[in-house]
Amino acid sequence: MADEAKWYVLHTYSGYENKVATSIEKIVENRNLHDLIREVRIPMEKVVELRDNEQVEIERKLFPGYVLIHMVNNDDTWILVRGVRGVTGFVGPDGEPTALTDEEMASMGIVRQEIQVPYQVGDSVKIIDGTLKDFIGSVEEIDVYRGKVRVIASMFGRETPVELDLDQVQALEF
């Protein structure tokens, strides 16, 4: 059943996000529903604010009034979650839960897909896509979070840094 679990968005009263998340987690623990309701999250972001001429890093809700829940959607879980105090409903047409896609979850930074990069900094690579296709270069920097790689390519006798997508280059095999 856990394979059917998807991410959904709950709408809550403003300021009730933490209470809703805590209540759902307690219900899951008390009724042993870990296989149906996997996780509850409140998307947060770290922000630097200036207070009394000092920079202070705080966490702020990314989407106030909303809570994300990873669950198997069936009549029982729907009724259980809708009955939690502070929940006004699911986000979706007519209050029916609409699952978020993997791309939506990744773009919010909630779920990150593990990317395996077959090369590392300093390796020689061949550019296999784009305007610099078939050029050879050296990996200078890899940014897995953004899905980018910086390659120093030799063009017309000059070393030129180029930023590409991770899948636009392949490791050279010797």
Q: What is the pLDDT of residue 2?
A: 47
Question: What is the architecture of the domain spanning 124-171?
Answer: Roll (2.30)
CA distance 61 to 42: 7
Where exactly are the structural domains of the chain? 2-107, 124-171
Q: pTM of whole model > 0.85?
A: no
Q: What is the pLDDT of residue 47?
A: 82
Q: What is the pLDDT of residue 1?
A: 45
- The whole-number mean pLDDT for each consecutive block of 10 residues of the chain, a chain of 174 residues, reads 78 93 94 91 84 84 91 91 93 86 76 71 90 90 83 86 89 78
Q: Please state which CATH number belongs to domain 2-107.
A: 3.30.70.940
